[in-house]
A and B are shown apart, each in its own frame.
Chain A
Amino acid sequence: MAHNAAAIRTVDLLGVFWRSFFIQASWSYDRMQSLGFAFTLIPVLRRLYPDREEFAGRLAVHMEYFNTQPYLASFVLGAAARAEEDRATGRNVAADVVELKKTLMAPLGALGDSFFWGSLKPFAASAAVAVLLTGAWWAPLLFLVLYNIVHVGLRLSLVFVGYETEGDVVVLMSRYNFTRLARRYKVLSLAIVGCIVGTLSAWGPEFRTSVPVFPPLLAAAGLVLTLGMIALLRVGASPVKLMLGLAAACLILALGGFA
């Protein structure tokens, strides 16, 4: 192994960032993001290992099982790029990139699932649906902006943070307090969802009931129904079953002349 490899440039890490959008293109049950990780790291490996044999060997190393939250994979990619650089330039020939990936993927997976899927997405969705229910056509754009400012911004910065910190999760957590941010997004989501129910009488014409009901009574009925459905979901009813139940209830109301 030659220890005079060139250092990674910013453009190489930007290449990794661009490819990270395709990390799940071949997602499968047994190897999950393995091929995607290898594909995403190619700009760095190409830079560090001009020798074809060595390049192929390192590419094969990165085809091992890997799975984490796809956005936070950027942090692992940055860290792996740094470990590969340390190894290739001789700064740390014993750098164990496989172990590094194994160590990082599980905690980052849990953290990312909770933050992106469990708090940011519901926040953007609640805000967009609340706006959509007022009849605003631009609600989908609002959703995309609210979500992707955070998503793309983090994906980009985390490649560099992972590289700079060599995959130090403590630094990551102190720089981005994901847990606190997630809690805030959840609180905002709940408040907006409450507002959706409270403004039932002001929803757009497509969603408004044709039955004349005194607006405060309508809002109160909406709240009672929502709380009832929360209680049912809590005891194990599924959204699908509740949809069928609502359809049946609507049919009974319509046949009874209440709609």
Chain B
Amino acid sequence: MTLFDAHTITQVLAAALIGGIIGLDRTALGQFMISQPVVAGPLTGWLLGDVTAGLVIGGTLELIWVLDMPIGTFVPADSTVAAVAATAIAALGSTTPGQLPVIGFCLLLTVAMVPVTMFADHLMRQRNAQIPELAMTSSGRPTEASVTFWHFGGTVAFFLKAFLLCLALVPAGLVLVSGFLALPDAVHRAMSLFITFLPLLGAASVARKLSMNTLDRTLLIGFVIGAVSVQLFHVPELVAIMLAAGGGWMGMRFHGA
């Protein structure tokens, strides 16, 4: 079987379309946060037939990039394209759904995607600068129709940015995954282990941005409650999460935040 048969090409186009549509939510339309990796990843995985890949990739990337904020003119790394492209590569490049070594490798590939997505975003926003001038009619004044038309014209640029990025990144990733599959088993085991460590990096990224202290009291309260309730009292994890949140809340009430 060739790497890019008709079925795969169709799937790549579908992935690019998904990326383009979900990418609109990131800035241009709504901002309901469907574009956040924790949603975009599973949605892409579900549409391409590998929900596990989407859940793992989305959940992992979410905490790592969640506090990379779009403040003023700063455009952060496009975690949406990274999540969609990585999920699509994992879904289309795996021999079976939920293949953890491939998912881990795809997460590693997002490292290379980050600067590409930031550059593309920068270019696109520069191009959008001419839109307000275009909305002026020949009389030098805007009309409702011209403002509406050119304003929504901007969404085309946002769509194309994510669509074209996915269209380029997914096939490139598939080539790399086919090479990865031929590597020794130890490398595959390494990528499975990589998945275990990444949520800890996400936790560290969030804690770093939310607290001034490395040994933050609330972080440690949450850790102790989580560890003790699950390991000592065998409490279900969901209950442990609520207990930890409650513990953090109590700590804030009694000691101030």
Residues of A within 8 A of B (CB): 21-22, 24-31, 34-36, 38-39, 42, 46, 55-57, 59-60, 63, 67, 70-71, 109, 113, 117-119, 121-122, 124-134, 136-137, 139-140, 143-144, 147-148, 151-152, 183-184, 186-203, 206-211, 215-216, 219, 222-223, 225-227, 229-231, 233-234, 239-240, 242-244, 246-247, 249-251, 253-255, 259
Contacts and interface: CB of A to CB of B under 8 A. Distances in A.
Interface of B: 27-34, 36, 38-39, 42-43, 51-52, 55-56, 58-59, 62-67, 69-73, 98, 100, 103, 107-108, 110-111, 114, 125-132, 135-136, 139, 141-144, 147-148, 150-155, 158, 186-187, 189-211, 214-216, 218-228, 230-231, 237-238, 240-241, 243-245, 247-249, 251-252, 257
B219 A38 contact: no
Nearest to A224: B200
A35 B203 CA distance: 38
A36 B131 CA distance: 11
Contacts of A119: 210
B241 A137 contact: no
B31 A24 contact: yes
Given A27-B28, A197-B223, 18 more contacts: A25-B28, A26-B28, A27-B125, A27-B128, A31-B132, A35-B132, A59-B142, A60-B141, A134-B238, A194-B224, A197-B226, A203-B196, A203-B199, A206-B56, A233-B205, A243-B108, A243-B110, A250-B197
A26 B153 contact: yes
Contacts of B58: 132, 140
Given A28-B128, A203-B199, A233 B222 contact: no
B71 A117 contact: yes
A151 B199 CA distance: 26
Given A28-B128, A118-B67, A253-B190, A132 B257 contact: no
Contacts of B222: 190-198
Contacts of B202: 129
Contact of B30 (A21, A196, A206): A21
Contact of A189 (B32, B56, B206, B224): B206
Contact of B241 (A60, A192, A234): A192
B240 A195 contact: yes
Contacts of B107: 243
Given A139-B59, A147-B33, A191 B190 contact: no
Contacts of B155: 25-26
Nearest to A70: B31
A176 to B, nearest CB: 18
A22 B56 CA distance: 31
A144 B59 contact: no
A43 to B, nearest CB: 10
Contacts of A34: 132
B243 to A, nearest CB: 8
